[in-house]
Structure formats: C-alpha cells, structure tokens
Structure 1
Amino acid sequence: MTLYDALVGPFAEFAFMRRALVGSLALSLGAAPIGVFLMLRRMSLTGDAMAHAILPGAAVGFLVAGLSLPAMTLGGLVAGVSVALLTGLVARTTVLKEDAALASFYLLSLALGVTLVSLKGSNVDLLHVLFGSVLALDDQAMLLLAGVASVTLVALALIYRPLVLECVDPGFLRSVSRAGGPVHFIFLGLVVLNLVAGFQALGTLLAVGVMMLPAAAARFWSNALTPMFAVAILVASLASVAGLLVSYHFDLPTGPAIILSAGVLYLVSVAVGWSGGVLWRLAPPRHHRAA
C-alpha cells in the first residue's frame, strides 16, 4: 500500500468519507475554541454534563419523528437550554451549588433519554443516538455543522473581551459592567449548540470529546489564548483525519476512533508539550556561567 492509498485514497475514492471529513472539520472549528473557554473557566465537566442533558430532547424527537435531523436537533436544543436554566435556578434559589445541581440534572437526563429511546427503538437506534454516525452525514447534517461553526465563531468574536475578562477576573467584570450574566448565558447557549451539532456526528456520549481533549492538549503548547485556540483546532482536525483513516483501514467504529485519536494527541502533549509537559518539567535546569 502506497502513502497515497493510505492517507488520500479513502477520501478521493468515497464521497461518504469526504462528507465525514468536512463535517468533522467543521465541528472541530467551532467546538475546540468553546472547549478552551470551558477549560479556562474550570467548567470542563460542564461540557460532559450538558452533552448528557441534550439526550432526552433528542430522544423525544426520535420518538416523534424517528431519526429525523430537525426533530432531534430541536429536541436536543430545548433539553440542553432547559437543563442550563434549571441548574442556574436551583443554584441561585437553594443551598445547592451549581456543580451539584448540574450533576443531578445530567444523571436524570441520561437515564431518561436512554429509557425514551429504548421504548421505541432497537439497540441499533440507541447506539446511533449515543455514539453518532459520522459516516452517514447527509446534506442537512452538513449544513447544520457548518452553520453552527459559523455562528459560534461570530458569537465568540462579539463577546470575546467580556468572556475573557470573566475567565480572568469575574469580580472586576461585575464591578465595571453588567455584561457578565448575559455573556455567561450566551456562552452556555454556544456550548449546547455545539454539543447538539456534535451529537449528529459523534453521538451524545462522544460529542464532548472533540470539545475538551483538543483544548486540554493545547494547554501544554501555549500559555497565550490565541495560540491555544489555534492548537486546539489543529489537534481536533488532526484527530478527525486520523480517526477517519483508522476507522476505514481497520474497520473500527468511527466516532470512538476520532476521540481515541484526540486522546493519543492529548497524551503526547502531556508528555512533550513545551508549556508544562512532563519531559520539560523533568529536564534539569540550565545553569549559566558568569562571563
């Protein structure tokens, strides 16, 4: 097998591989920067919880219309936004902290979603909802992924300054502006939107992987925000390409292959990343002689 056959041939020969590649790259472009902000705001597990939160809405859409992209997307959006609002309400009106409230709602959502899908669908339908079907992206799914990536990048550009300030010093932002609350909810909306888009390709259980693993890997290559965005998008894109190729050549499930590829890149970054990687921390410090 030549290098062309191994790396380029699958995409040149098969339209479904090209669609999967374009869809995965679009998802990487929008989800990776969101993951960086989640990491900086110490909300990494929030993405995982919200990924589970969209499951009941997607399940209701499935019960109503089957494997219909518009119905499942709308259901997922409604469920995700509802859980975010309910979490904020419980955290502000009771003694329960936001992380505990979110954990409670996401566990309920996961159990409810799996139960709803199981009521009507087969095990194949359940696997499709939980783990996605990136090799079966149609025109509607492609437009959704591209649209969500575009909306995400534009929205992040518009709220960039207050969002960064909220990550660094939320107290100062509250003292000089009332934008903190609206920006927080806009950001949560973007998280839900990208998880719903990722759900179409990777399923509810893996969508958060392409969001958080590249962001975590990027932290080991730069301390500056802009390079971190670039590295996260690059890692997510490389993981998408590698996962698709591994899935094609070794007949593995595509979604998990993409996330495992991102995990490998994360472990490499942990080991050799020059901004806090293990090898750089273990390297002996250089001593300079006086002239």
Structure 2
Amino acid sequence: MIWHHLFQPFIEFGFMRRALVVCLALSVSTTALGVFLLLRRMSLMGDALSHAILPGVAVGYLLSGMSLLAMTLGGFIAGIAVALTAGLVSRRTPLREDASFAGFYLGSLALGVTLVSLRGSSVDLLHLLFGSILAVDNDAALFVCGVASLTLLSLALCYRGLVSEAFDSAFLEVNARRLPSLLHGLFLALLVLNLVASFQVLGTLMAVGVMMLPAVAARCWVRTLPGLLLLAALGGALSAWLGLSLSWSAGLPAGPAIVLTASLLFFISVLCGTRSRLADGLRAFFN
C-alpha cells in the first residue's frame, strides 16, 4: 500500500518523475532564500514579489502566448522594477519598505489579472496563478534546475556577506559602504529569479508557500544557521514528495497539495518543535 502511493507513481510515469525533480530543485534553492528572508524579518516580501512579477508575465503572455522565454523575461523585469521602486519610495518617503511593497504588489496583482483577462481564458489565468506542475516540459525543468544551481552557487560565494548583512548591516556598511547595497541587490535578483522559475511550476500564488513554510518550520527546531538551511531544504523536499504522492492518490491539484503538506509540517513544528513547544504551553495553561 505504501509502495503504491509513495513510490510507484514516480517509477511508472515520466511526468511524475519530472515534477518531482523540479520540486526538489526548487526546495533546495527557494528554501535557502526563505531562510534569509526570515532572518531579515522580511518573510512577506516573497509574497509581495510573487505577485509583482504577474504583470510582466502577463505582458509576455500577451505578446508571445505561453512562451517560456517571454514570460520569464517579463516576470523578471517586472519583479526587479517593483523591488527597486519600492526601495526608492521607502528611502524618499516616510513609508517603510514593507508598506511600499504592499502598495505595489496589490496593484501589480490586479494589473496582471486584468492583462491576462484581455486575451486569455479562465484556464490561462488559473495556469498563471496556480501553475501546472504535472505538465512541466523538459525546457521548463532545465530552466528551473539551472536557476537552482545558479542560486546555490551565488549563495555559497556570498554566504559570509549575506549573513553579515542579515544580522548586522550597520557594521557591514561602516566597513564597506557599497557592499551592503550590492549584496541586497544580488539577493533581490536571486529572489525574483527563483519566483519566476517557481511560477512555471506552482503559479504565482503557490510559489511563496514552498519558499517560506519549510524555512519557518525549521526555525522551530534548530538554532544554528547551517542547521536551519539544511532542515529547511529537507522539509521542502519532503513536502514536495508527499504532496505529489497525495495529489496522485487523492486526485488533488498538485501545487496546492504540496503547499498543504508544507503547511502541515509547519503546524507540527509549531506544536512540537524543540524551540517552540506550543503544545507544552497549552497543556500547562489548561492544567
């Protein structure tokens, strides 16, 4: 029974294997970015940028149809433009960066949905918002794996700088004035690039769930940053495998099934994690 639900679909069907490989690649790269967002106390930025790329994706779709290259370029340009504009607004106005991101991403989401509706059908809109992971082709799989490899290489090369910038950006700015801006720009570029790659698989609404939920769940168990990165990646991979298996067995949409599995891991971690122990607190409260 367990073999039939957890292993047999990936052995017998090529599209299930391809979906699993793509999800594992995303689990390794996006969860690492999610950990750094968590350390920067910017967990909702991923959600904002995942919506911000939608107008660019929609423009690419209107110009070239379901072209991977056109939608990727459009989404990347739109995401970078929103990130830079929101940063400029936060520096020149009393608004904080999270508030400016909130204003821009809500307008971007509405604009993207409107643009898709001008030409596409409700099926096209659902594809962009929720993805179609089981229909991922070889080109999309190679693109996602390439983005994941580039992200891991960049994080490895800039690891010390990103950690310093996350924990003590003021010290880093005093010792190297331009370095914090360069690191922040690199991090935003990697974040947007991974969200663009994720939307091909999970859609703009589901992509941030794979990025943040394993990272937040891992925070409930470990204290060290290497342990946090490792456990978040393992949690993302486990969510992908179990979510795809659940989708196959129960006939559920694959993307939401993966995010629901990650949400279940999050709730378990909040209740039972060694750094959370919410269950112990509730038990003591009722006793």
TM-score tier (shorter): over 0.9
The corresponding residue for 2:18 is 19
The corresponding residue for 1:288 is none
Q: Structure 1 residues 235 and 63, CA, compared in 2 at 3 Å: closer, same or farther?
A: same
1:106 & 1:159 partners in 2: Cα distance? 28
Kindly state the Cα deviation for residue 279 of structure 1 after the two structures are TM-superposed: 3.4
Does structure 2 conserve the Cα–Cα contact (< 8 Å) formed by 1:274 and 1:280?
Answer: no
Instruction: Tell me which amino acid in the other structure corresponds to 1:175.
Output: V
TM-score with structure 2 setting the length: 0.96
The corresponding residue for 1:53 is 52
The corresponding residue for 1:289 is none
The corresponding residue for 1:37 is 36
Instruction: Tell me which amino acid in the other structure corresponds to 1:136.
Output: A
2:159 & 2:281 partners in 1: Cα distance? 32
The corresponding residue for 1:251 is 251
The corresponding residue for 1:138 is 137
Looking at secondary structure, tell me which structure has more helix per residue.
Answer: 2
The corresponding residue for 1:159 is 158
1:220 & 1:15 partners in 2: Cα distance? 36
The corresponding residue for 2:206 is 206
Aligned residue pairs: how many? 283
2:163 & 2:91 partners in 1: Cα distance? 23
Does structure 2 conserve the Cα–Cα contact (< 8 Å) formed by 1:59 and 1:72?
Answer: yes
The corresponding residue for 2:189 is 189
Give % identity: 57
Does structure 2 conserve the Cα–Cα contact (< 8 Å) formed by 1:214 and 1:235?
Answer: yes
Kindly state the Cα deviation for residue 100 of structure 1 after the two structures are TM-superposed: 1.4
The corresponding residue for 2:86 is 87
2:43 & 2:3 partners in 1: Cα distance? 38
Does structure 1 conserve the Cα–Cα contact (< 8 Å) formed by 2:269 and 2:276?
Answer: no
The corresponding residue for 1:220 is 220
Kindly state the Cα deviation for residue 45 of structure 1 after the two structures are TM-superposed: 0.5
- Cα RMSD, aligned residues only: 1.2
Larger radius of gyration: 1
Instruction: Tell me which amino acid in the other structure corresponds to 1:83.
Output: V
| Structure 1, 272-281 or 144-153: larger mean CA deviation | 272-281
Does structure 2 conserve the Cα–Cα contact (< 8 Å) formed by 1:47 and 1:191?
Answer: yes
1:12 & 1:48 partners in 2: Cα distance? 34
TM-score with structure 1 setting the length: 0.95
Q: 1:208 is paired with a residue of what secondary structure?
A: helix
Q: 1:221 is paired with a residue of what secondary structure?
A: coil
Does structure 2 conserve the Cα–Cα contact (< 8 Å) formed by 1:273 and 1:280?
Answer: no
2:47 & 2:5 partners in 1: Cα distance? 33
Q: After superposition, what is the alpha-carbon deviation per residue over 1:116-173, rounded to whole angstroms, capped at 9, x for unaligned?
A: 0011110000000000010011111111110111111111111111111111111111
Q: After superposition, what is the alpha-carbon deviation per residue over 1:30-89, rounded to whole angstroms, capped at 9, x for unaligned?
A: 100000000010000100000000000000111111111111111100000000111111
Q: After superposition, what is the alpha-carbon deviation per residue over 1:162-207, rounded to whole angstroms, capped at 9, x for unaligned?
A: 1111111111111111211110111011110111111010000110
Kindly state the Cα deviation for residue 283 of structure 1 after the two structures are TM-superposed: 7.9
